[in-house]
Every structure is written in C-alpha cells, then in structure tokens.
Chain A
C-alpha cells in the first residue's frame, strides 16, 4: 500500500504526463486550455449545462487591449490581431466553478497532449501582466499560450 507521499508523487506524475489541452485560435493567436478545466464544448445553442455567465475569451485575455502600435510602422506580428466576427461561436463550459460560466471561443481546432519539456514559463516582464497565460510552448515553430481558466478572476470561489 502506498503512503501519502508516494500517492502524492504518483498523482503529480499522472497530472504531468496525462494532461490533454484544448487548442483554439483567435485572431491568429493560438491558445491551449487544460481539458480538466472544461466540462463541455458546444455550439452556443446546444449547451446542456445552463451557465449563468458568458464571457468572450478574447476579452478575458486582453486581445484587443494592446492596440498602441502603429500598424504601418511595426511588423504585423507585434500588433494586436484583429478579432474577426465568429462564424461558428462555440462555448467552453468551465468545470467546477461558481458561478457556472461559459467562455465563448472560435471553433476549437484540436486536442493535444503537450509534453512538459516543451512548456516554458512566460518571461517575468510578461507574466506580470498575463496572470492566466502561465506558459508558452512552441509547436511547429509557432507559440501556443497555455491558459489557466481559473486564473481569469471571474469566479467567486477560489482555485480548486
């Protein structure tokens, strides 16, 4: 029988090795959310669990706030990408949070297991501003930002 420490180590190693991430792209920026934080992904009209709150993902991560650059002077990659009207609005229902919350995204592109060794913490100057974006992983030479939905500051209960 495993003692507490061995159980804890086993639990941690399972968390580190088995996490699946939901990938989706908004305005050319790709994000990944731990599937354990997502109860359901559905079209807006097909939600089974009725959420109390709706949030747009790009508002939560501040996709439109960084528009201070002059698009003509700086490379496109440095400016805030325009968020196009969503043709297929989908929602993620956040698991185990109060109030029950749906976050609107564009159509998810994939689920992926991102190895721990590919993840890099956000640099300190950036981590200061992006609490929910906790790491980045370069996949096919493009960054994927890992987002902790529970750190968006929209929930009334604490982090589980």
Chain B
C-alpha cells in the first residue's frame, strides 16, 4: 500500500495530467478556430427573403433618408442620395429579383456597395446582421434557384438555420450597366 505522501504525489500528478490534457484540448480547439478561414457577410432581407452580400463589397450601411428622383433612368435605379456631399445612386433589388415591392419602414437601410470600380447604394428592407462565417459553409448556388435570382447569385450559406442566398454585387451592377 502506498504511503500517504505518495498518494498525494499521485493525486497531484493526476490533476496535473488532467489539467495538461484540458489545456491541450483547449489549445487544439483554438488552433482550429484560428485556422478556420472566415468571411464577413452582411445578412439582409428584400421582399421577405433573406439574402447576404460579402462584407468586403459593402462599404457602409446608411439609414434611408430622402432619395431624389433622376429622370431618364430605368425603374431599378431609384435615384440619388447625398452622402456627406457626394452624390451616390440608389438601386432597388425588388425589380431585379422579381420580388414584391415593400414600403419603406424604420428598418429599411441603404447598403453603400462597391465592386469593379462602381459604387452605388442598394435599398434593403432590413439589415439582419453583419457576421463572420466559415468559408467552408459557403456552397455553390443551388440549381433550383428562381431564374430571376440565379443570374446574380454568388453562393449559398445558412444563417440561424435559414438558407441564405449570397448575391454578387458586381453581377447586380453589371446587369444595370448593360
């Protein structure tokens, strides 16, 4: 039978061992977290549907103030806004995506987006969140997507257990510039 002192030594050793293992596991988790490539996304709704833009394409999210009509533009271009002295265009997604138009509410926002040298505001019904998601959670667009939306899709992901269609800002701008 081991002496009492030896028991203590054994117990200490066991606790040290356990502690070491716990720390090791924590470290492994942390390493996994660091290695997991993340991408910032802006989650928003238009016409009751949840969409996302890549965060790198969105420069700013603005409250909706007055949008001024510009003659001669297609209906998808809603007008211009004054952003600290600069004039920026504002486009609406409802028409492009074939979604029902919705009246502006206090939740409406304008995402000031930039891609391929073109900058414009995009009117959104609401911004749900701005969050980092793992790159591996982004899947290619599903083949059953609505044909109006398909043209502008960069991929699919999930957010709070909801499927989210990621829209490509560059494709949206290109479509309007054609």
Interface hit among A8-16, A75-83, A96-104: A75-83
A interface residues, how many (CB within 8 angstroms): 36
- Answer whether residue A61 sits at the interface, using C-beta atoms and an 8 A cutoff: yes
Enumerate chain B residues within 8 angstroms of A123, measured Cβ to Cβ. Answer: 80, 87-89, 119-120
- Answer whether residue B176 sits at the interface, using C-beta atoms and an 8 A cutoff: yes
In the bound complex, CA of A62 to CA of B89 (Å): 17
In the bound complex, CA of A124 to CA of B89 (Å): 8
Query: Given A61-B72, A73-B103, do A143 and B118 touch, yes or no (CB 8 Å)?
Result: no
Residue of chain B at shortest CB distance from A143:
B68
A145 touches B70 (CB 8 A): yes
Q: Interface size class for chain B?
A: 20 to 34
Using a Cβ cutoff of 8 Å, how many contacts connect chains A and B? 107
Residue of chain B at shortest CB distance from A73:
B101
- Answer whether residue A43 sits at the interface, using C-beta atoms and an 8 A cutoff: no
A125 touches B176 (CB 8 A): yes
Q: Report the minimal beta-carbon distance from A80 to chain B, rounded to whole angstroms.
A: 7
A129 touches B72 (CB 8 A): yes
Enumerate chain A residues within 8 angstroms of B8, measured Cβ to Cβ. Answer: none
- Answer whether residue A136 sits at the interface, using C-beta atoms and an 8 A cutoff: yes
Enumerate chain B residues within 8 angstroms of A141, measured Cβ to Cβ. Answer: 82
A residues whose Cβ falls under 8 Å from a Cβ of B:
29, 58, 61-63, 65-70, 73-75, 77-81, 120-126, 128-130, 133, 136, 138, 141-143, 145
